[in-house]
Amino acid sequence: MNIDQKIQELNQRKDEIQLGGGVARIEKQHEGGSLTARERLNVLLDQDSFQETGLFARHRGTLFGMAEKEMHADGVVTGAGSVNSRLVHIACQDFTVGGGSVGEIHSAKIVQMMQSSLKTGSPFIMINDSGGARIQEGIDSLSGYGKVFYNNVMLSGVVPQISLICGPCAGGAAYSPALTDFIIQTKSARIFITGPSVIKAVTGEEVSSEDLGGPAAQMNISGVVHFIAEDDMDAIAICKRLLSFLPSNNLEDPPRKEAEETILPDKQLNEIVPVDPKQSYDVRDVIGHVVDHADFMEVQAFFASNIVIGFARLQGRSVGIVANQPCVMAGVLDINASDKAARFIRFCNAFNIPLLTFVDVPGFLPGVEQEYGGIIRHGAKMLFAYSAATVPKITVIMRKAYGGAYLAMCCKDLDADRVISWPTAEIAVMGAEGAVDVIFRNEIKKAEDPVLRRQELITEYRDTFSTPYVSASRLHVDDIIEPADTRRYLALALDILHSKREFRPQKKHGLIPL
């Protein structure tokens, strides 16, 4: 056989392998509204940038009919490419090949890409579309999962990890996405540990696959998913947008876009937040007026909606935003909101993304359910996350900032670099009404007109303690500004704090509350 024949044989082998499970299975994938593994990569990666590795990988199974079973690329496409000219490493499961089942070599290919991400300091992207463990390989399949989980942890905080759930992701496979930084799930995809049939057999509960593992359940209820996509194309678009805010690794700053030459006051900001502390508004309107081009990428929009988190840019710099949401539960902090915010703060700190915090919080949610659920330890996560964060931290107190929730929203005493206040701010242990009812209970009872006296005391308390001027006089607030000047103030503060360096006590690590 001469060289031309060998090259022809090579090309024939490549063409066959790249067809995955064959034309019939590809058509079936399309009929279900999904792209194939290679089609997904073609959409995600820059043209002609993909360099595949492990194309000729083959399983070593011999039991239960596996010896003669050909599984092209062992059901997963792996390699490196670029997204908007930035290097990424990627693994994309191929459902047309054995249902994308995970075996020893399949996992080894994924692990190889994860380790390459570490070596090159580039994000790792995993596109999940698998029926689960390859049962025929037994313990080798489980060992493969274990290696993937271990490397997820090794990558954590070093390079960004993004999981796309574009098909089934069941059993142990679900733990790998859970160990990554962000999960994007399409509406037709399903993710769960135990499926409906197992749940029914063990507990007798009946639940549909969608109600159990659909994106609405895993976003709204469990908080596992960070973004919901209409389909594969939308999931990829979300992934690309998310990457645009992130650095390639923890040693780099996030990419910066061109900044505006001048920033003019935005008088509309003066009107968005009502002076009446009981009147609600949507904090996303405030964010939209502060960030560049009103471009805010909200994360976990439908989970714990009483707090808003997400990415934006200010004068071209990537920033992470944490904000109370007064139009949902009055913006109160509860268990889920605390967990949601704390995790996001930790991510931003790991990847050098400055934190902007917008405060309008009446307190922590009271109630037996919250206490029994551990609001103390969950709320402590926010205190821990903000205190441990060494990136620039800037806090804007818009209106209410009461009690322990004021502290948890990155006050000066948690080492915030700048705390600014609007003139509408009320900073106190509690609201004036509650404070008066505690402090002056007896005086109000004895008054000739209790209602009038109570109102007088409320006004006196608010004027004495609930204004930002008291806090500013004690340096708990650095400046009180007109809302219209917020964008300009924050942009200048970020420029000043960009070179911030922190010197902390040497230790192995702190112990975050569980």
> Which residues are marked as active site?
171-172, 404-405
Q: Contact 278/204 with Cβ under 8 angstroms?
A: no
Residue bearing tokens 């910066």? 256
Edge-to-edge strands, sheet with 124-128: 51-53, 76-83, 86-93, 124-128, 161-165, 182-186, 227-229
Count of beta carbons in the 10 Å neighbourhood of residue 293: 10
| CA–CA separation, 253 and 354 (whole Å) | 10
Q: Which residues pair with 92 in a beta bridge?
A: 77, 127
| CA–CA separation, 422 and 485 (whole Å) | 10
Task: List Cβ neighbours of 300 (8 Å cut-off, separation of 6 or more).
Answer: 219, 223, 225, 226, 309, 340
| b/e burial code for range 322-355 (CB count within 10 A of at least 16 → b) | bbbbbebbbbbbbbbbbbbbbbbbbbbbbbbbbb
The DSSP call for residue 259 is P
Q: Contact 349/504 with Cβ under 8 angstroms?
A: no
37-40, long-range: CB < 8 A, 24+ apart: 37/76, 37/77, 37/92, 37/93, 37/94, 37/95, 37/96, 37/127, 37/129, 38/77, 38/92, 38/94, 39/232, 40/92, 40/127, 40/164, 40/166, 40/232, 40/236
Q: Contact 480/420 with Cβ under 8 angstroms?
A: yes
SS3 402: strand
Amino acid at 23: V
| CA–CA separation, 399 and 422 (whole Å) | 7
DSSP H helix total and E strand total for the chain:
21, 17
Q: Contact 158/122 with Cβ under 8 angstroms?
A: no
Q: Provide the H-helix boundaries in 100-231.
A: 104-120, 139-155, 175-179, 196-203, 209-213, 215-216
| CA–CA separation, 364 and 403 (whole Å) | 8
**Residues shown for the chain:** 514
Write out 403-465 in H/E/C secondary structure. Answer: HHHHHHCCCHHHCCCEEEECCCCEEECCCHHHHHHHHCHHHHHHCCCHHHHHHHHHHHHHHHH
What are the tokens at 504?
């902390």
Burial class (CB within 10 angstroms; exposed 0-12, middle 13-18, buried 19+) of 208: exposed
